[in-house]
């Protein structure tokens, strides 16, 4: 037998065996945690998948197909305006980093062939935090103010970190890689304003379908809440019209595909979920059978869903097991959580940043984890600190970053991230 090859599998088996052998099934705490985790999964499935995740997948897919990445990259090239480069690097994560695995190559590219260390670290920090999926899910589950704080915190602090990195290492003349940036030719198929309207209509559907019920039963927010399905339908109609006019989809097909959704909305007016699901299905059928751009769009949305959903399911299960559903308690006692990251002390924020920096979060799983921690008494400040430090860094990606820019710069970068996340957590915790 080839032990060198097989030892990992054996170790895994022994581990699984021991875990099963000592499985605390039957103890009330464990059994309750299992129920909690199943209830949490059901809650996500009922409340968040259809209205929030699915539209967000379509938007993310659309960004990766219809937005020209090359046109953004020219602002991050070697000859780019330095001031502009920081700004573009800070916000371009929304467009460039729709998939977490693209962040590291882009970072390495900007560092070695493009605008240099400062903008590269700016991009590295903000990228994972401001992609559409992350913002949509954070705002939906953890509340819009934490969602916004996460997005703006990431943008502002990414610029600060980039500038600091540039300042600290300003004396190091770095040898630019000999290779030339190879970029795909930007393809212009329709004017920018048409693309902008297309994205606006989709974002409208996402925002209004998820409009939360306000606490007071009057005022502007409530008025919007009562009309949310009307607004959502309005945006959906605009969206269908845009697809027909500018995306080479046939009117007849589009109308046929919207028919079931409209009919179901009339038959079941009190249950918008049915009509919404039918609409999603109709859209999927006409885009997936298309051979041109819309087909590519569906393909790319599907890739995201395939990649992210299984990991998210596992993340929710584990988080439910350890931390329980809202209002419940899992395997980890609440007192532990509140003593480690409760309140808004320097220690809580620092602890949350350090833990977030080293832990690996698969795309989006940071959301159920932070939600579980908040339920068990985590302070809002430390929650933001974890959200800022978490997805930007993990032990595996530190190793890749180190291979690109060396040990010293990586250590400085990691310390800056931890310090920045701690302070932004404290500032946020003070106000909310």
Partner 1 sequence: MKIQVLGTGCPKCKQLSDNAQTAIEELGADCEVTKVTEINEIMKFGVMLTPALAIDGEVKCVGKVATVSEIKKMLQ
Residue closer to partner 1 by CB (options 69, 288) is 69
Positions in the binding site for partner 1 (CB under 8 A) = 69-70, 73, 99, 101-102, 104-106, 108-110, 112-114, 177, 179-184, 303, 306-307, 400, 403-404
Residue closer to partner 1 by CB (options 113, 243) is 113
Residue closer to partner 1 by CB (options 61, 382) is 61
Q: C-beta of 355: minimal distance to partner 1 in Å? A: 25
- Burial (CB < 10 A; 0-12, 13-18, 19+), residue 197, is middle
Q: What is the DSSP secondary structure assignment for residue 51, as one 8-state letter? A: I
Residue closer to partner 1 by CB (options 174, 226) is 174
- State how far the Cα of 388 lies from the Cα of 160, in Å rounded to an integer: 14
Q: C-beta of 184: minimal distance to partner 1 in Å? A: 5
- Residue 346 contacts by C-beta under 8 Å, 6 or more apart in sequence? 422, 426
Q: C-beta of 405: minimal distance to partner 1 in Å? A: 11
Q: C-beta of 387: minimal distance to partner 1 in Å? A: 23
Closest CA to 277 of 46, 60, 5: 46
Please check whether residue 55 is in contact with residue 202, taking contact to mean a CB–CB distance below 8 angstroms.
yes
Tokens of 212: 């939360």
Please check whether residue 351 is in contact with residue 342, taking contact to mean a CB–CB distance below 8 angstroms.
no
Residue closer to partner 1 by CB (options 317, 404) is 404
Over the range 43-66, which residues count as b (16 or more CB within 10 Å of their CB) and which as e? ebeeebebbbbbbbbbbbbbbbbb
Q: C-beta of 311: minimal distance to partner 1 in Å? A: 11
Q: C-beta of 307: minimal distance to partner 1 in Å? A: 5
DSSP per-residue codes, 230-291? HHHHHHHHHHHHHHHHHS---HHHHHHHHHHHHHHHHH-TT-HHHHHHHHHHHHHHHHHT-S
- State how far the Cα of 53 lies from the Cα of 64, in Å rounded to an integer: 16
Q: C-beta of 79: minimal distance to partner 1 in Å? A: 15
């Amino acid at each position: 037998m080839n032990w060198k090859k097989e030892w990992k599998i054996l170790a895994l088996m022994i581990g699984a065996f021991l875990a099963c052998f000592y499985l605390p099934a039957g103890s009330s705490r464990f059994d309750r945690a299992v129920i909690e985790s199943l209830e949490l999964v059901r809650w996500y499935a009922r409340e968040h998948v259809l209205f929030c995740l699915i539209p967000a997948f379509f938007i993310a897919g659309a960004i990766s197909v219809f937005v020209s990445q090359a046109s953004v990259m020219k602002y991050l090239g070697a000859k780019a305006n330095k001031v502009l480069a920081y700004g573009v690097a800070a916000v371009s994560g929304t467009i460039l980093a729709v998939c977490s695995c693209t962040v590291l190559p882009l970072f390495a590219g900007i560092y070695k062939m493009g605008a240099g260390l400062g903008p590269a670290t700016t991009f590295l920090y903000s990228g994972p935090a401001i992609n559409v999926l992350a913002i949509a899910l954070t705002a939906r589950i953890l509340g819009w103010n934490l969602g916004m704080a996460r997005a703006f915190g990431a943008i502002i602090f990414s610029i600060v970190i980039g500038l600091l990195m540039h300042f600290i290492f300003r004396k190091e003349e770095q040898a630019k890689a000999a290779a030339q940036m190879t970029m795909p030719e930007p393809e212009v198929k329709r004017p920018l304003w048409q693309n902008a309207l297309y994205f606006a209509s989709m974002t409208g559907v996402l925002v209004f379908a998820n409009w939360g019920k306000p606490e007071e039963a009057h005022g502007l927010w409530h008025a919007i809440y009562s009309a949310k399905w009307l607004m959502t339908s309005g945006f959906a109609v605009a969206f269908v019209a845009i697809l027909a006019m500018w995306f080479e989809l046939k009117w007849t097909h589009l109308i046929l595909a919207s028919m079931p959704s409209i009919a179901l909305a009339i038959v079941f007016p009190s249950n918008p979920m049915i009509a919404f699901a039918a609409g999603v299905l109709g859209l999927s059928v006409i885009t997936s059978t298309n051979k041109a751009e819309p087909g590519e769009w569906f393909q790319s949305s599907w890739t995201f869903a395939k990649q992210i959903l299984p990991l998210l399911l596992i993340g929710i299960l584990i988080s439910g097991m350890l931390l329980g559903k809202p209002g419940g308690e899992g395997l980890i006692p609440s007192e532990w959580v509140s003593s480690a990251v409760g309140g808004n002390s320097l220690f809580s924020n620092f602890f949350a940043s350090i833990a977030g920096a080293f832990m690996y979060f698969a795309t989006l799983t940071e959301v159920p984890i932070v939600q579980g921690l908040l339920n068990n008494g985590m302070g809002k400040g430390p929650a933001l600190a974890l959200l800022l430090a978490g997805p930007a860094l993990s032990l595996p990606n530190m190793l890749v970053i180190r291979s690109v820019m060396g040990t010293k710069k990586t250590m400085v970068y990691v310390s800056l991230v931890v310090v920045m996340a701690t302070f932004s957590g404290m500032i946020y915790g003070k106000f909310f």
